[in-house]
Structure 1
Amino acid sequence: MPDNWIHLCIDMQRMFAEQTAWHVPWMATVSPQIIELAGRYPERTIFTRFIPPPTADAMPGMWRNYYEKWPMMTGEQLLPELTDIVADLKAFAPPARFFNKRTYSPWVDGRLYETLTRDKVETVVITGGETDICVLAAALGAIDLGYRVILLKDAVCSSADETHDATLELLGGRFSVQVEITETDAFLSSL
C-alpha cells in the first residue's frame, strides 16, 4: 500500500445514527471498523457531513422537490447538532478533518479534489453510509477523477439491504479495475 492514501468516511452523522426520518439502523454495526481505522490513522481521515439546507427553497432543481418530501430534515426543523459526526468519531478530529457537502457526492464543487491534489493523494479508502447513495456517489466520483478506490465492505452501511448488496456487487463487478472491495482487517494488515 502506498503512503499517499486517505480515509474518506462518508456521513457518519447523528442524523443517521439516531431516530430521525433518515435513521440507518445498522450504522452501529459498522462503527467499530470505522473507529478502528480512524483511530489508527486520524491524520489520514476526512469525515464528510451531509448538511441539509435551511429550507427546501434554498436548493436548486430536483433538490427542492427532495426536501419538500423531507421537510423535517431541513435546517428549519432539524436540530443543528444532529448534522455532527457521531461522538465516537468526533474524538479523532483534529487531526481528522471535516468536509461539509450539500449533495450526495463530495466531489461536486471541486473543493475535496483540490485538497486531495494538494496532498498528492492517489488512493481513497471509503467507509460510511449509505452504501447505495452517498458512498456510491463518492466512489463513482473518485473513479472518474482517477483515484484508486478501496471500499471496506464491513465498514459501509445502508438502510436497505437489497440495494446495499447490489451496490457492492456493481462496484466489485463492473468497476473491478478501479475499485477494490475488501474488509477492514485485511486493509489494515496490508499497511
Structure 2
Amino acid sequence: MEYNWVHLCIDMQRMFAEDTPWHVPWMQQVSPQVQEIAKHHPQRTIFTRFVPPKRAADMAGLWRSYYEKWDTMTLERLEPQMVDLVPPLKALVPPARVFDKMTYSPWITGELHHVLAGEAVETLAISGGETDVCVLAAALGAIDLGYRVILLKDAVCSGADDTHDASLALLGDRFSVQLEISSTEDFLSRA
C-alpha cells in the first residue's frame, strides 16, 4: 500500500470468546481472518482491550449503572486473565502492541491518536468485536480524527446479527468517502 497503515484490532479478548455473560459466539468465526492479518503484520497491529473496573462504584455516571447490571464482569468478580487477548493474538505481543480502554471508544484518552499521529499513520484497517458497539465507536472516532478507515467485513463480529448488518450498511453508505468496507483477502492482497 502507498500509505502508512495500522491494523487496529478491537477487543479480541477471552471474556468475549469464552463462557461469560458477554460471550460473542460469532468471534470464533472471524478469528481466523483476524489472526491472518495480525500474523502477517504483527509490527503493524494494535490490539485494544476493554478493561472493566474493579467494581461498579469506581465508575461515574451511567457507567456505574452499566456495571451494576453486569457486576459479574467487574474485575472484583471476573478472573483477571479473562481480560487478556485470546491466546493466538496474545502470542504476537510484542511486536504487536496493546492499548487498554475503559469505554467503547479507544480514542477517549487521546493516547492512541497521539501514538498514531507520531507515526504518521493515515489509514486504519479495523477488525474485532463487536461491530455494533466497540468497532462502531472505533470507526466513527477514527473518521472524526481524519483517518481513512478500512473495515474488514469478514473480520468483525457481534452478538446480534441484525445490528451487525445494520452497522455495516450504515458505515458503508453514510461514510463512504471516509470508510471502505473490504474483505480480509482483498486487504491483504494490497497490504
- Give the TM-score normalised by the residue count of structure 1: 0.99
CA distance in 1, matches of 2:107, 2:163: 22
The residue aligned with 2:81 is 81
User: 2:66 & 2:178 partners in 1: Cα distance?
Assistant: 31
Q: Deviations over 1:8-40 (max 9, x none)?
A: 000000000000000000101000001000000
Aligned to 2:52: 52
Separation of aligned partners in 2, 1:57 and 1:173: 40
Is 1:130 the counterpart of 2:126? The answer is no
Task: Provide structure 1 residue ranges, at least 5 long, that are not aligned to the other structure.
Answer: none
Q: What stretches of structure 2 of length at least 5 have no aligned partner?
A: none
The aligned residue for residue 100 of structure 1 is 100
2:156 maps to a residue whose letter is V
Q: Deviations over 1:74-102 (max 9, x none)?
A: 01100000000000111111000000000
Read off the aligned partner of 1:70 and give its amino acid letter: W
After superposition, the CA RMSD in angstroms is: 0.6
**Counterpart residue number, 1:90:** 90
4+ residue segments displaced more than 3 Å: none
Q: CA deviation at 1:190?
A: 1.3
Indicate the residue corresponding to 1:174 in structure 2: 174
* Residues 42-82 of structure 1 deviation map (CA, whole Å, 9 limit, x = unaligned): 00000000000000011110100100100000011000000
Matched, 1:43 2:61: no
Deviations 1:138-157 (A, max 9, x none): 00000000000000000000
Equivalent residues of 2:3, 2:123 under 8 A apart: no
Q: Counterpart of 2:181 in 1: which secondary structure?
A: strand
